[in-house]
Amino acid sequence: MEKKVVERYKSFEGAASFNVKYDEEWHKRVCTRREYQVIQKCFRVTGGNHDLILDLPSGAGRLFKAFQPFGKRFLEMDISHEMLKFVRTNLAEYKPSLGVGSAFHMPLKDQCVDVAFSARLFHHVPDQAERHHYIKELCRVAKKNVILTFFHTWSLKNILRRIRKPFNRKKDKVTMTTDELRQVAKSVGWEVVTTIPLSRLASGHHYAVLRRC
């Protein structure tokens, strides 16, 4: 990840801004409602009733209540101490365990959680090898399932971005195809069960459910 992005994310100012970002903008509130629906679809695919769910990166805990009904215990983990301070406040009634750690080098044993959940990180990782390592790390620590997001190469959002690039000169998004995800999963003994777009028109993010073979 870019150093300036990480530094901003780990700062108090960055964490405070992120904590309210999805509450202050109406379109992001709509996005959160849709995201909750997609997350719950993914967890229903896994069967639910999991003993321990890992949420990494947890951010300020924005998505926690979407998957909370599907687990008994929860580990909210993030690289930012400041984010975890907001998690402690925002999720005080649920009392999840908190931990500091990177998604690329998780301080966790193999197969120590039932489900590894990881949202909105993939598209911030420009190096392909690092992205593949991140996916493999999620598979390493999970016993049964991994649920993660990726920005789909062939989403309408990304196709339109490519068409407009000669005019607005925006840099390319960090993307992946479903076939690439399947290949990475297969290399460590996992399979892709399903992928669900967050929005076919308004977003290029897809949620994927992976299962240990």
Residue spans of the domains in the chain: they are 3-212
Q: Which of the two residues, 193 and 21, has the higher pLDDT score?
A: 193
According to CATH, the topology of domain 3-212 is Rossmann fold (3.40.50)
User: How far is Cα 171 from Cα 195, in angstroms, rounded to an integer?
Assistant: 25
The predicted structure's pLDDT at residue 37: 97
The predicted structure's pLDDT at residue 2: 73
For the chain, what is the total number of helices (H) and then of strands (E)?
A: 8, 7
The mean pLDDT value of the chain amounts to 94
Tokens found for residue 97: 């365990």
Of the candidates 147, 141, 144, 143, which has an alpha carbon nearest to the alpha carbon of residue 181?
A: 147
115 and 46 Cβ atoms separated by less than 8 Å: yes
The predicted structure's pLDDT at residue 114: 98
Radius of gyration of the chain (CA): 17
Query: Of the ranges 24-33, 143-152, 163-172, which one carries the lowest mean pLDDT score?
Result: 24-33
Band of pLDDT at residue 183, cut at 50, 70 and 90:
very high
pTM for the predicted model, two decimal places? 0.94
The predicted structure's pLDDT at residue 26: 64
Q: Is 87 helix (H, G, I), strand (E, B) or coil?
A: helix
Flag whether pLDDT at 84 surpasses 70.
yes
Q: Which of the two residues, 192 and 160, has the higher pLDDT score?
A: 192
Neighbours of 25 (CB within 10 A): 11
